[in-house]
Amino acid sequence: MPGRAVGPGPPAVWRPLAARADNAVMAHRLDDVSAPARLAGPDEGISQEELALAARNHGIPLEALRYDVTPPGLHYVLTHYDIPYADEGSWELVIGGRVRRPLRLGIDALRKYPAVTSRVTLECAGNGRALLTPRPVSQPWLVEAVGTAEWTGVPLRVLLAEAGIEPGAVDVVFTGADHGVERGIEQDYRRALPLDVALGDAPEVLVAYAMNGGPLPPQHGHPVRLVVPGWYGMAHVKWLRDITVADAPFTGFQQAVAYRLRQDADDEGEPVTRIAPRALLVPPGFPDFMSRTRVVRPGPVALEGRAWSGRAPVTGVEVSTDGGGSWRPAELGPGDGHPWAWRSWRLAWTATPGQHVLGARATDAEGHTQPLDQPWNRGGFANNLVQRVPVLCLDPGDDG
Ligand SMILES: Nc1nc2c(c(=O)[nH]1)N[C@H]1C(S)=C(S)[C@@H](COP(=O)(O)O)O[C@H]1N2
Ligand SMILES: [Mo]
């Protein structure tokens, strides 16, 4: 069933419900409002449902890639259901399951542990999805689902050590306070990490209560969230209220159904885990309001941007100014003690009149890099297709 189109169409009209004679006799089930995942048809535009998601879940304005740490409000946001209303004073985080001493911690108790601060680049696993063909119908990200923040909190391994893990534990399950329905399944937002990742110190998973030195904003998980450096966003459970150590692999919706790399609907698929390398440009010049095409004047243009990988440190960024025909190495900024945060890069370009397509390609220390052809899967997850930035360079003396 195609999505509702945006634009001209039949006007929405009010009719008394009684006019629907079938209302009384039909079954009322979640399936009436919650459909299976699907791919957009060949010429199907972005639907009103996708637009509604895009208006709630905003990306980083790409010019904000200039900041080492993304300023408040410019970090991307993704929330599956509603942002829960949370009172910090009465919030409790419960730690239980296969542990010797279950814990119940308020915010004040969490603040008493030695605090750790990490600068972490977070990226949604669906980043780039709306550029894929066919397009998986979901939050329609272009490339802007990324941001970097300084998160402060307690290492998860410290809390788990205090609770005392019992033998036989395999997964640690994290539950948020948000609740909704997805593809017909009613649920709390819930994700798990394998025990070795939960207990690891590189990366060190944080139970975070501060972002950039202040309380977490409501949309970023107030008052407590998980931060799993190097992993795609879905692992960083917001509004964290429960941590349960489990002796069987977790098979909840967000683990076993969503966030898997599948070619076909009935593939079991591989789980989505760590962030694949990606580089983005700070958009050069100035934009056209509607097309967002960049406009520059001939002469030197400083190209700059950010690059990151959750698998291994970024070791190189190459830049193309001719649509991928040739590539030149960019100069990398310092990798100064923030192994889980993006790195800056720059390259001087001399713009000549005409149309250009710019792009940047990151490579990490394990040799992972970015493809020029789309890596496709049904969820559009973990795709890191090289960004294309069309630029118009004006003729000399053209004042527009
Ligand atoms: N409880 C809860 N945690 C969540 C989500 C959610 O919907 N509910 N969304 C996840 C996803 S898919 C992403 S990409 C990140 C986004 O984090 P941010 O909004 O702070 O950028 O949060 C993750 N944690
Ligand atoms: Mo996400």
Residue 373, CB-side half-sphere exposure with 13 Å CA sphere: 0
What percent of the chain is predicted at pLDDT more than 70?
95
141 neighbors 59 (Cβ within 8 angstroms): yes
Q: Which two tokens stand for residue 44?
A: 């199907």
Residue 318's DSSP bridge partners are 329, 361
Q: What letters, b where the CB count within 10 A reaches 16 and e where it falls short, cover 359-378?
A: bbbbbbeeebbbeeeebebb
pLDDT at 3: 47
Closest ligand to C-alpha of residue 208 is: 1
- Going by C-alpha positions, the residue among 309, 389, 319 that lies closest to residue 121 is 309
Mutate to test the pocket of ligand 1, among 120, 141, 234 (most ligand atoms within 8 A of CB): 234
Candidate CATH numbers 3.40.50.1970, 2.60.120.10, 2.60.40.650, 2.60.40.10; the one for domain 278-393: 2.60.40.650
Distance in Å, CA 143 to ligand 2 centroid = 12
Cβ neighbour number for residue 216 with a 10 Å cutoff: 24
Report whether residue 126 contacts ligand 1, using a CB cutoff of 6 Å.
no
pLDDT class of 10 with cuts at 50, 70, 90: low
The gap from C-alpha 266 to its chain's centroid, in whole angstroms, comes to 25
Q: Which atom of ligand 1 is nearest to the CA of 240?
A: 1
CATH class of 48-271: alpha beta
Question: Whole-angstrom Cα distance, residue 120 to residue 148?
Answer: 6
Q: CATH 3.90.420.10 residue ranges in the chain?
A: 48-271
pLDDT class of 7 with cuts at 50, 70, 90: very low
In 33-133, at which residue ranges do the beta strands (DSSP E only) sit? Answer: 93-97, 103-105, 116-123
Report whether residue 190 contacts ligand 1, using a CB cutoff of 6 Å.
no
Ligand 1, atom 18: closest residue by C-alpha: 77
Q: What is the pLDDT of residues 121-158, one digit of tens each?
A: 999 999 999 999 999 999 999 999 999 999 999 999 99
Least confident of 2-6, 24-28, 261-265, 380-384: 2-6
Q: CATH 2.60.40.650 residue ranges in the chain?
A: 278-393
Non-local (6+) Cβ contacts of 360 within 8 A are: 279, 280, 281, 303, 305, 307, 317, 318, 319, 320, 330, 345, 386, 387
Report whether residue 277 contacts ligand 1, using a CB cutoff of 6 Å.
no
Distance in Å, CA 1 to ligand 1 centroid = 28
86 neighbors 218 (Cβ within 8 angstroms): yes
Cβ neighbour number for residue 236 with a 10 Å cutoff: 24
pLDDT at 21: 61
